[in-house]
């Protein structure tokens, strides 16, 4: 995808990260465990802290950020979190680039598996993850508004050289 650019976020990218995250919360609030109101109140220090995480990625086209995701280690396991793609960019391969970047970051950190949660009522997301080899773990979490989040995982190959 020659016109798609992927960047690993650094603290100086905090304004870009803030803009994309708030767009995600504004457009798809039901897909995240936070709210636009809560996060728009974060100060620069909090956004810089979030941007300093080691594996957060932004995807952009023609200088416009169209997606984000991160790979994070939590209690010894690796997870893809915060995946969002702008409506106009869905179905254009952005999810593929973001997933591959998250998987590579986890693999390079020594992870042998990676997991993610997807809302049960998000068939497009579920299909995209299945296409990348993610399979149901059997874990289902009840979240707000009577919805369920399904957990999927995928084995990873060996770390890159």
CATH at 93: 3.40.630.30
Give the total number of structural domains in the chain: 1
* Mean pLDDT value across residues 56-80: 95
pTM over 0.85: yes
The region, left, alpha or beta by phi > 0 then psi within -120 to 50, assigned to residue 99 is: alpha
Whether residue 17 is predicted with pLDDT greater than 70 in this model: the reply is yes
Task: Quote the CA–CA distance of 52 and 16 in Å, as a whole number.
Answer: 13
- 135 within domain boundaries: yes
Q: Are 66 and 59 in contact (CB under 8 A)?
A: yes
Q: Tokens 């995928």 identify what position?
A: 154
Cα distances (angstroms) measured from residue 85 to each of 43, 73, 74, 82, 146? 24, 22, 23, 10, 24
Note whether residue 161 is domain-resident.
Answer: no
Looking at the chain, how many residues does it have? Answer: 161
Distance, CA of 150 to CA of 152 (rounded, Å)? 7
What is residue 32's predicted lDDT score, i.e. its pLDDT? Answer: 81
Give the pLDDT of residue 157: 76
Question: Is 8 part of a structural domain of the chain?
Answer: yes
pLDDT at 86 over 90: yes
Question: Which of these ranges, 21-25, 39-43, 119-123, has the smallest mean pLDDT?
Answer: 119-123
Residue 129, pLDDT score: 97
Domain-located, residue 59: yes
Residue 82: the pLDDT is: 92
> Where in the sequence is the domain holding 67, given as residue range(s)?
4-155
């Amino acid at each position: 995808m020659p016109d798609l650019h992927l960047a690993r976020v650094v603290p100086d990218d905090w304004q870009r990260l803030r803009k994309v995250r708030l767009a995600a919360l504004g457009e798809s609030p039901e897909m995240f465990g936070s709210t636009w109101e809560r996060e728009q109140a974060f100060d620069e220090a909090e956004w810089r802290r979030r941007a300093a995480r080691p594996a957060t990625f932004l995807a952009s086209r023609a200088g416009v950020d169209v997606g984000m995701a991160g790979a994070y280690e939590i209690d010894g396991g690796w997870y893809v979190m915060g995946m969002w793609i702008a409506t106009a960019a869905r179905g254009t391969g952005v999810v593929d680039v973001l997933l591959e970047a998250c998987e590579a970051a986890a693999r390079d950190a020594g992870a042998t598996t990676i997991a993610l949660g997807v809302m049960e009522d998000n068939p497009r997301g579920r299909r995209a993850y299945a296409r990348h080899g993610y399979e149901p773990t059997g874990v289902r979490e009840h979240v707000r508004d009577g919805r369920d989040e399904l957990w999927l995982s995928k084995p990873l190959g060996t770390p890159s050289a």
